[in-house]
Chain A
Amino acid sequence: MNKLVTKKKIMLPVTAVMLLALGVAGCSNDDEADNNDDNNDNTPTLSGTINEAGSTTVQPLAEKLAAAFKVLYPNVNVVIGGGGSSVGVKSATDGTVEIGAVSRELKDTETGLTKYLLAKDGIAIVVHPDNTAVANLTVDQVRDIFSGVITNWSQVGGPDKAIHVMAREEGSGTRTAFEELVMGEDVRIVANAVLQNSNGALKTALAGDKDAIGFISFGYIDSSVKALSINGIAATSENGKNGTYPIIRPLYFLTKGTPSELVQAFLDYCMSDAVQQIITEEGYLSVN
Chain B
Amino acid sequence: MPRYFTDKLAKYGVLITALVSILVLLAIAVFIIQGGLPLFSAVNPFDFLFGQSWSPTYDEYGILSMIVGSLLVTLGSMVIAVPLGIACAILLAEVAPQRVRNLLRPAVELLVGIPSVVYGLVGIMVIVPAIRNLGGTGYSVLAAVLVLSIMVLPTIISISEDSLRAVPRTYRDGSLALGASQWQTIWHVLLPAARSGVGASIVLGMGRAIGETMAMIMVIGNAVIIPTSPLDPARTLTGNIAVEINYAAGLHENALFATGLVLLILILILNSLATLALKRGEQHA
Contact = CB atoms under 8 A, between A and B. Distances in A.
Q: Is B a genuine binding partner of A?
A: yes
Interface of A: 83-84, 86-87, 89-90, 162, 164, 166, 169-171, 188, 191-195, 197, 205, 208-209, 211-212
B136 interface: yes
Interface of B is mostly: loop
Interface stretch (B75-83, B198-206, B220-228, B266-274): B220-228
Interface stretch (B28-36, B104-112, B185-193, B240-248): B240-248
For A164, A171, A188, the residue with the greatest tally of chain B CB atoms inside 10 Å of its CB is: A171
Given A90-B246, A188-B55, A209 B224 contact: no
A111 to B, nearest CB: 12
Contact of A195 (B56, B136, B221): B221
Interface of B: 55-57, 128-129, 132, 136-139, 217, 221-225, 232-233, 243-244, 246-249
B126 to A, nearest CB: 12
Contacts of A191: 223-225
Contacts of B222: 169, 194-195
The 6 A-B residue pairs with the shortest CB-CB distance in the complex, in nearest-first order: A86-B247, A171-B247, A195-B222, A194-B221, A164-B137, A87-B247
Contact of B244 (A164, A171, A194): A171
A89 B128 CA distance: 33
B56 A192 contact: no
Given A87-B247, A208-B129, 7 more contacts: A164-B137, A169-B243, A170-B57, A192-B225, A194-B139, A194-B221, A195-B222
B232 A192 contact: yes
A87 B246 contact: yes
For B137, B217, B233, B243, the residue with the greatest tally of chain A CB atoms inside 10 Å of its CB is: B137
A193 B139 CA distance: 10
Contacts of A90: 246-249
Contacts of B221: 194-195
A154 B139 CA distance: 23
Contacts of A211: 137
Contacts of A169: 222, 243-244
Nearest to A169: B243
